[in-house]
Amino acid sequence: MGIMTIATKAAQQAWLPSGRSFTVDDLDKMPDDGNRYELIDGVLIVSPSPTSRHQTLVLELAVLLRAHCLDDLQVFIAPFDVRLSDDTDVQPDVMVVRRSDLTEKNLPVAPLLAVEILSPSTRSIDLHVKRERLRKAGCPSYWVIDPADGHLTGWDLDNAGQYVEVADLTAEQTWTATQPFEVTITPGDLLR
């Protein structure tokens, strides 16, 4: 380990909180080192750079969603902060938001649609922790896509505020989502 690496790590650790949960103020001090830093209920989540397959899915899905997006909505890709509280800041891989909800720095409310492309390092977090936190925040639709096989699962909020599965597709199946707008998707087409 070189001197610069040791010095950088020591400087990073000097401001890390001790004996308390992380906050968005701590998150704002994180280094720009190629990792994605997210915060869920005070717990720091660090993700490595994504794979090319992951990025292909993100780009193709964003293009598809943008082609069907309503004028008052906008499609974003990570990194862009969804700052839900002082201890929660997430960055969905793809999201659809109301233009009127945006600030210059972040989205201070839940998106209308949040999509995560699963990876080995974040799979469990995306399927459970992040999904649950976005549900609590009132995110109307949440999808996950597995880049290994193109499997897509989607959930929409019901009237009781619970996620109900609305899609469970293999790569070659087609589904027409109705939220936040109508769009037809065949997950395997996003991988080509």
CA distances to 8, 89, 133, 134, 168 from 160, rounded to whole Å, are 48, 24, 16, 15, 21
Q: Residue 136 falls within a domain, yes or no?
A: yes
Q: Residue 76 falls within a domain, yes or no?
A: yes
Question: Tens place of pLDDT for every residue, the chain, 192 residues?
Answer: 333 333 344 444 555 666 678 888 887 887 777 777 888 888 888 887 888 899 999 999 999 999 999 999 999 999 899 999 989 899 999 999 999 999 999 999 999 999 999 988 889 889 999 999 999 999 999 999 999 999 999 999 999 999 999 999 999 999 999 999 999 999 999 987
Q: Residue 9 falls within a domain, yes or no?
A: no
Q: Residue 72 falls within a domain, yes or no?
A: yes
Phi, psi dihedrals of residue 99, rounded to the nearest 5°: -55, -35
Domain containing residue 118: CATH number: 3.90.1570.10
Its sign, for the CA torsion 102, 104, 108, 111, is positive
| Enclosing domain of residue 163 | 49-191
Q: Residue 68 falls within a domain, yes or no?
A: yes
Q: Residue 120 falls within a domain, yes or no?
A: yes
The total number of structural domains in the chain stands at 1
The tokens for 40 are: 């869920």
User: Which residues have a Cβ under 8 Å from the Cβ of 106 and sit 6 or more positions away?
Assistant: 80, 81, 82, 83, 89
